[in-house]
């Protein structure tokens, strides 16, 4: 059975002390009121080694927001998948639209990152999605199909370890949200591509998260769709009340 997941992406927010405080507060909130889905927080690299020991692993998974496409070596400023795993983190976000746009991450680079993450027993949360011009030109299906090439080279066994996150780039931090119908339509399309490539069973077991201005006020409607298995949450993940409000959409 595929899992319902709410994952937080802190992005470049919170210094170390603030991050530890946020993780502790979330841990206490979820200890008092157990979630009905898997919960993951993906933090900046500097937080990982401090946050993983203070959260209850049975309730909150911890992940990084990125990793390098190289194993190790003279790559100043980069952080390898092995380094991420050594902190106790279990997840890593790969292919986020901000990485694709600002740091020019290609299908090939992301394919390397995915393979290295899996080799270090990290679970990739792999992001796909179109920008506004592509949506307005009705090209969203071909865009996400092309982006899936980074993970469609995997064996069925390895692909089954991937969590997908569909992000309409035009709805990230803009206050715009895809309607529940738009979200369901493209999630169903993504699942159909997986079924074509790997078969219905793998497709049925793949969690596909929605990322794009998901809030406590719209989470329930979005998550009610049969092919929307949770959310990858940006801004709302930085406040425990908001993040928990989204987690509670599964109650």
Q: Are the C-beta atoms of 210 and 183 separated by less than 8 Å?
A: yes
Burial code (b: 16+ CB inside 10 Å, e: under 16) for 141-166 equals bebbeebbebbbebeeeebebbbbbb
- 9 carries a ligand binding annotation: yes
3-state secondary structure of 158: helix
Half-sphere exposure of 135 (CA within 13 A, CB side): 14
> For residue 43, what are the β-bridge partners?
64
CA–CA gap between residue 77 and residue 99 (Å, rounded): 15
- 234 carries a ligand binding annotation: yes
Tell me, yes or no, if 167 is annotated catalytic: yes
Of residues 47, 96, 105, 130, which has the active-site annotation?
96
CA–CA gap between residue 92 and residue 16 (Å, rounded): 19
CA–CA gap between residue 93 and residue 49 (Å, rounded): 17
Q: Are the C-beta atoms of 56 and 27 separated by less than 8 Å?
A: yes
- 245 carries a ligand binding annotation: no
Tell me, yes or no, if 96 is annotated catalytic: yes
Residue 238: both structure tokens together: 């930085």
> For residue 40, what are the β-bridge partners?
7, 61
Of residues 105, 111, 134, 167, which has the active-site annotation?
167
- 199 carries a ligand binding annotation: no
- 235 carries a ligand binding annotation: yes
- Backbone dihedral angles phi then psi of residue 43, each to the nearest 5 degrees: -115, 165
- 218 carries a ligand binding annotation: no
Burial of 201 (0-12, 13-18, 19+ CB in 10 A): exposed
Closest CA to 229 of 1, 42, 8: 1
Residues annotated within the binding site for substrate are: 9-11, 173, 213, 234-235
Residues annotated within the binding site are: 9-11, 173, 213, 234-235
Residues with catalytic annotation? 96, 167
């Amino acid at each position: 059975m595929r899992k319902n997941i709410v994952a937080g992406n802190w992005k470049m927010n919170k210094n170390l002390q603030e991050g530890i405080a946020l993780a502790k507060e979330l841990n206490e909130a979820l200890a008092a009121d157990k979630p009905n889905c898997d919960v993951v927080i993906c933090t900046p690299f500097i937080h990982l080694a401090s946050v993983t020991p203070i959260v209850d692993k049975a309730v909150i998974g911890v992940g990084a927001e990125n990793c390098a496409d190289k194993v190790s070596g003279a790559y100043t400023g980069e952080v390898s998948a092995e380094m991420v795993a050594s902190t106790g983190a279990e997840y890593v976000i790969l292919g986020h639209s901000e990485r694709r746009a600002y740091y020019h991450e290609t299908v090939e680079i992301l394919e390397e990152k995915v393979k290295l993450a899996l080799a270090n027993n990290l679970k990739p949360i792999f992001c796909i999605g179109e920008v506004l011009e592509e949506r307005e030109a009705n090209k969203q299906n071909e865009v996400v199909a092309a982006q899936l090439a980074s993970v469609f080279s995997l064996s069925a066994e390895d692909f089954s370890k991937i969590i997908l996150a569909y992000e309409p780039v035009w709805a990230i931090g803009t206050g715009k949200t895809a309607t529940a119908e738009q979200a369901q339509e493209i999630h169903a399309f993504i699942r159909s591509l997986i079924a074509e490539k790997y078969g219905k069973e793998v497709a049925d077991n793949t969690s596909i998260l929605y990322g794009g201005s998901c809030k406590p006020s719209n989470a329930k409607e979005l998550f009610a769709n049969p092919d929307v298995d949770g959310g990858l949450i940006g801004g709302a993940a930085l406040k425990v009340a908001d993040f928990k409000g989204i987690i509670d959409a599964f109650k």
